[in-house]
């Protein structure tokens, strides 16, 4: 039997110091979401004692999974991130997979207005890639990556939002890991800080990090943020959440982040009339307040 030819890939071998030179600095990228940026932190050392220091946003270079059922605020969060970064002078590529670009642009303008940002001053830094209207972008990964590379080079993009990555393997969930891995590796190569929005099936546990395609989708990425909602139908639930029967309450948690420390509590989350997502207090504080009454 003929022996298979062997190869040594020397370019894949680094010392730790050599690898570290290729990594971005550990600093925060503001999200535009009130209450979220300080949930990520790093540790400073005062003698032998670790002290938490808020990072002030997502870690630079982080590729984050934003997952939840419909109407939990995922797209709003992505739009806020895009608008905030554009207001800080960054060019942002928004890959719209579910909704045609023209409609997404209207949503971005509304988010800017709610944040007090002049949309005219940032609209040329918001680059929309309309995969919703072009089947080949959704179904042919080389075409999508080549088009993204063109956008990154042409507009000097360092921030990306994909809404939703789930739509790129719709009805082909066995390919989910392959699709997400290819996009993750590509965004890392181009030094992007990115949000990959992913959908849950209704059968998934609301506060799990699972998305369509399974847990492996989120595990590939650097961080998972889980959004959920609950309809208050009992007096006990109303008392727990300090809400009224018939009200919808929304919850948020960070499921994990490989790049820095993070808050591990479940938080209340609000969506304002203007369509802005805000992260509220942890449930533990609400329960303490109730017990203190």
Mean pLDDT over 59-79 rounds to 95
∠ CA 160-165-167, rounded to 5°: 135
Q: What is the pLDDT of residues 275-292, one digit of tens each?
A: 999 999 998 887 766 544
CB–CB of 263/39 below 8 Å?
A: yes
Nearest Cα to Cα of residue 33 among 54, 56, 53: 56
Q: Label residue 1 by pLDDT band (50, 70, 90).
A: low
**Burial of 150 by CB count in 10 Å (0-12 exposed, 13-18 middle, 19+ buried)?**
exposed
CA distance 90 to 37: 18
Average pLDDT rounded to a whole number, residues 156-171 = 93
What are the residue boundaries of the structural domains of the chain, listed by start? 26-292
Both tokens of residue 175? 């390919």
Rounded Cα gap, residues 38 and 48, in angstroms:
24
Residues 293 and 290: their CA atoms lie apart, in Å, by 5
User: So what CATH class is 26-292?
Assistant: alpha beta
More confident residue, 264 or 209: 264
Q: Which residue has the higher pLDDT, 6 or 105?
A: 105
Q: What is the pLDDT of residue 291?
A: 47
The band of 208, judged by pLDDT with boundaries at 50, 70 and 90, is low
Q: Using the predicted structure, report yes or no on whether residue 199 has a pLDDT greater than 50.
A: yes
In the numeric block, the tokens 């995922």 are attached to 74
DSSP-derived 3-state class of residue 176:
helix
Under 8 Å between Cβ of 267 and 279: yes
Phi and psi at 168, nearest 5°, equal -85, -10
Q: Which of 271, 221, 273, 224 is nearest to 250 (CA)?
A: 271
Q: Is 2 helix (H, G, I), strand (E, B) or coil?
A: coil
Q: Which residues pair with 66 in a beta bridge?
A: 197, 225
Q: Give CA torsion, residues 68, 69, 75, 77, to 10 deg.
A: -40
Can you tell me the distance from the alpha carbon of 213 to that of 165, in angstroms, rounded to the nearest whole number? 10
pLDDT for 204 equals 47
**Mean model confidence pLDDT for the chain:** 90
> pTM of the full predicted structure?
0.90
- Residue of 223, 99, 225 whose CA lies nearest to 167: 99
* Confidence tier at 23 by pLDDT (50, 70, 90): confident
pLDDT of 202 strictly over 60: no
pLDDT of residue 218: 75
User: What's the distance, CA 175 to chain centroid?
Assistant: 21
């Amino acid at each position: 039997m003929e022996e298979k030819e062997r190869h040594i890939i020397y370019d894949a071998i680094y010392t730790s110091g050599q690898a570290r030179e290729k990594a971005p600095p550990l600093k925060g990228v503001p999200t535009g979401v009130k209450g979220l940026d300080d949930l990520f932190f790093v540790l400073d050392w005062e003698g032998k004692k670790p002290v938490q220091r808020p990072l002030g946003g997502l870690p630079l270079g982080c590729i984050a999974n934003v997952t939840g059922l419909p109407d939990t605020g995922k797209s709003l969060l992505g739009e806020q991130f895009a608008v905030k970064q554009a207001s800080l002078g960054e060019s942002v590529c928004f890959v719209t997979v579910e909704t045609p670009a023209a409609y997404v642009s209207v949503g971005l303008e509304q988010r800017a207005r709610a944040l007090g940002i002049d949309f005219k001053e940032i609209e040329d830094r918001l680059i929309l890639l309309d995969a919703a209207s072009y089947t080949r972008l959704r179904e042919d990964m080389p075409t999508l990556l080549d088009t993204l590379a063109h956008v990154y080079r042409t507009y000097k993009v360092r921030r990306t939002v994909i809404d939703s990555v789930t739509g790129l393997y719709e009805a082909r969930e066995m390919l989910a890991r392959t699709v997400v891995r290819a996009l993750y590796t590509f965004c890392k190569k181009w030094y992007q800080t990115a949000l990959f929005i992913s959908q849950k099936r209704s059968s998934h546990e609301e506060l799990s990090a699972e998305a369509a395609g399974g847990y492996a989708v989120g595990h590939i990425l650097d961080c998972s943020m889980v959004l959920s909602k609950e309809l208050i139908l009992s007096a006990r639930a109303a008392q727990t959440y300090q809400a009224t029967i018939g009200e919808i309450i929304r919850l948020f948690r960070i499921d994990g982040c490989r790049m820095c420390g993070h808050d591990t509590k479940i938080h209340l989350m609000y969506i304002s009339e203007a369509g802005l997502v805000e992260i509220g207090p942890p449930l533990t504080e609400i329960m303490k307040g109730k017990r203190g009454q």
